[in-house]
Amino acid sequence: MNLTYFLFFVCIIVCTLIITYWAARRSNTTNRFYIASGSLTGFQNGMAIAGDFISAASFLGIVGMIAISGYDGFLYSIGFLVSYIVVLFLVAEPVHRLGKYSLGDVICSRFPSGQMRMIMAIGAFMISILYMIPQLVASGFLLRLLLNIDYSISVLVIGGLMTIYVVFGGMVATSWVQIVKTVVLMSGTFLLALIVFSNMNWNLPYLLEKVKTGSPLGESFFLPGHQFGNPLEFLSLQLALVLGTAGLPHILIRLFTVRNTFEVRRSLISSTWIIGTFYIMTLVLGLGTVALLGFDKLIAIDPTGNLAAPLLAKEVGGDFLLAFVSAIAFTTIVAVVAGLVISATTAFSHDIFHHIFKKGKSTELEQLKAARWTALGIGFISTMFALQLEAINVTFLVSMTFIVAASSNFPVLILTIYWKRFTQVGAIIGMVSGLLASLVLVLLGPHIMNSDGGWIARDAVISLYNPGIISIPIGFLGAYLGTICSSKQAQTEAEFRRFYIRSQTGITSRSENS
């Protein structure tokens, strides 16, 4: 075990546990536990959103994808970044005005029923677990590589840490862990990018020439088509990334942690700038990997490219910089997983326990106890899954998360806010159809089915690695058909007008206030 690596990891663990201890003394109400009492400023929340969104797949995966696939690797970043424009202009302010703790609150503000809340909670729970597992698997590989710790022990360590953050600190601890992660991530990535440029004598054309000679792609490195030979595949992926973010529960609940819509806008604008700057720096790191480390050396050590950033750090800065960059990756995983745990915890303890089991009559103490036990259970479940998935390619789980969110939560959320004729039946059918379609298409696609032996994968459409272009319209179609078939249950024009005014302005009628 390298002592430098070990000390960096211990430092991060100690710092985050100190934050949790500080937050635990303040998370003594449900309002504090779920949304930090809306006490974050817009800029603080923007940093937390960026920390919640930039996962290990972004920091480790995109750098490697750029190094291996060139231009196509950077296209992932474009989809991730553009998605925040959709969130900002279409859903952010209505979600803040309509909800309190969860996405279920938002939908049930128009369709109040236990059935609707249960379905939204199940969707949020599934999306959070699906996203959590690949983060835990990535942490297991990272700790095993750097500290020579067994994979199972590595997963148990990170799973235990994230559970401690949420059980004791709630949203307060989660938010500040994410803010610290953003500061460390941006600082470290910027430092590494500067070192790359310094090794190129601060000469961008020279860096680009080195990339052309260092990559087997040559001049075509900067041209599309190396990873997405099928334009439909590219379109489907971008559709899932752009729309999926607006349906991710762990991102949307962050809109409740500020006091007003001005701070909501400030949060998203801040996070968009942070995320955009980060992805520009990953482009530099991807180019630097090819120019300084070399394509052949990267592939020889790690054919997937996921270790491109740590390997580049070691190449230009030795063990110390490698330890620093790896610690950043570890912090990234911890922060994202903590955000996912709080999202799943809120879905179960608030929507299911408080509203369905207790009919909205549970005490503050009962809700806090249920939330903490739920966080413990979710941490245990996701850790057990991750322990069993060491040998599987988990890339499809990340893409599945965005596809499921874009196919189920996004259509229901958009139509609830903006379509006057939309009904509860349409919302339920849209949610279920989008959820099932996305799961079935991914599970029967080439990520799971062998392209040579799997009979499903021979179909040119089903063989899409990212079938969002099929499942997202299915979610919308299910919502539309369910609404048309239950048009008699539609709200009156006056009822929808009151709901719409509330979603757009926050103004409620006297009857609603009472």
> For the chain, how big is the Rg over CA atoms in Å?
23
Residue with tokens 């985050």: 16
User: What is the rounded CA–CA span in Å between residue 347 and residue 103?
Assistant: 8
**Vertex 193: Cα angle to 187 and 195 (nearest 5):** 105
DSSP 454: -
Backbone angles phi, psi at 184, to 5 degrees: -65, -45
Task: Check which CATH number belongs to the domain holding 13 and give it.
Answer: 1.20.1730.10
Judge whether 335 lies within some domain.
yes
- The pTM for the full model equals 0.89
C-alpha dihedral sign at 330, 336, 337, 342: positive
pLDDT score recorded for residue 32? 87
Which residues, 6 or more positions from 411, have their beta carbon under 8 angstroms from its beta carbon? 430, 434, 472, 475, 476, 478, 479
Backbone angles phi, psi at 72, to 5 degrees: -60, -30
| Token code pair at residue 402 | 């965005």
pLDDT score recorded for residue 457? 40
pLDDT score recorded for residue 93? 94
pLDDT score recorded for residue 459? 46
Distances (CA, A) of 25 to 165, 166, 170, 375: 13, 13, 11, 18
Distances (CA, A) of 53 to 81, 95, 200, 251: 10, 18, 31, 7
Judge whether 470 lies within some domain.
no
Distances (CA, A) of 372 to 20, 175, 245, 369, 461: 14, 17, 26, 5, 44
pLDDT score recorded for residue 392? 59
Which residue spans within 151-234 are E strands per DSSP? none
| Token code pair at residue 500 | 């719409």
Judge whether 235 lies within some domain.
yes
Judge whether 399 lies within some domain.
no
Domain total for the chain? 1
Judge whether 477 lies within some domain.
no
Backbone angles phi, psi at 167, to 5 degrees: -60, -45
Residue type, 223: L
Those residues of the chain that have pLDDT short of 50 are 450-461, 511, 513-514
Burial 448-474 (b: 16+ CB within 10 A, else e): ebeeeebeebeeeebbbbbbbbbbbbb
Judge whether 180 lies within some domain.
yes
- pLDDT tens by residue, 430-451: 999 999 999 888 877 776 664 4
Which residue spans within 39-94 are E strands per DSSP? none
Judge whether 360 lies within some domain.
yes
Judge whether 438 lies within some domain.
no
- pLDDT tens by residue, 131-161: 888 888 877 777 777 777 788 888 888 888 8
Q: Following DSSP, what letter does each residue of 114-162 receive, concatenated?
A: HHHHHHHHHHHHHHHHHHHHHHHHHHHHHHHHHH---HHHHHHHHHHHH
Structural domain for 155, as ranges: 3-391
